[in-house]
Structure 1
């Protein structure tokens, strides 16, 4: 069986570094290895075209992982990606990055009880849980 596939949602203006680290560590550091591919748009696209592209990519994954940074309130792309995942029954969980924590603002649609610190044992357990809940599991 292949590794679970995750779509990483993150604030591209503020958390690019954390996304790179997280994606690089997910396969070797998590007790439940999973795959993250870079599905970011490589070029600016009209909004409707971007939304269709991202919706298709989310639909091919087992889960959406939101990297929750300190500037989540202004990350409108993240808000849209969460809504897209929810509309397609793709399970969602969050990981605090870059100094964010339990009192940080969460994007709409991300539940606090499904958001955790960057701890690979907890993330691995969440990946296992998402695989039992997800439509693509």
Structure 2
């Protein structure tokens, strides 16, 4: 499989540790059956700079993976990133992190049936599906 370019969308204020763990475990020499190139922003940006940079990163990716934590109701940037992905025809799926469950609030634009538990077999299956769906496949 070609290395999937994944923009990882997450609640910067609450789920940075989950993003670091997810991206780190998805890198080369890990037990995962794929390699994730994490194109997410690693630092806070001014709003106008954020929108321009994030839109460009999402456009260059095969998919957006949303790390769905317990505080998604206040993660307005995540909803904006999902909207950017949809505008650019980049497929999106979510992974529950930070003890979030099927009853946790989802960010606007992310359907419940597109969110999975964090198992690497499930993530691998979702990535394979996204690689077949996206404009950058």
TM-score interval for Structure 1 and Structure 2 normalised by the shorter chain: over 0.9
Cα RMSD, aligned residues only: 1.4
Where does residue 20 of structure 1 map in the other structure? 20
Q: Within 5 A, what are the aligned runs for 1:15-94?
A: 15-27=15-27, 28-31=30-33, 33-40=34-41, 42=43, 44-45=45-46, 47-94=47-94
Deviations 1:37-71 (A, max 9, x none): 253154532x2221011000000000000000000
CA contact (8 A) 1:6 1:34 kept: no
DSSP 3-state at the match of 1:103: coil
**Residues 39, 115 of structure 1: CA spacing in aligned structure 2 closer, same or farther, 3 A cutoff?**
closer
Does the 8 Å contact 2:6/2:39 carry over to 1?
A: no
Shift of the alpha carbon at 1:35?
1.9
Runs of 4+ that moved beyond 3 A:
41-44
Whether the aligned pair in 2 keeps the contact of 1:15 and 1:98 (CA below 8 Å) is: yes
Q: Residues 3-48 of structure 1, C-alpha deviation per residue, up to 9 Å, x if partnerless?
A: 01100000010011111000001132333x1323253154532x22
For residues 40 and 93 of structure 2, the distance between their equivalents in structure 1, rounded to whole angstroms, comes to 18
SS at match of 1:106: coil
SS in 1 for 2:26: helix
Indicate how the Cα distance of structure 1 residues 38 and 90 shifts in structure 2: closer, same or farther if over 3 A, else same.
closer
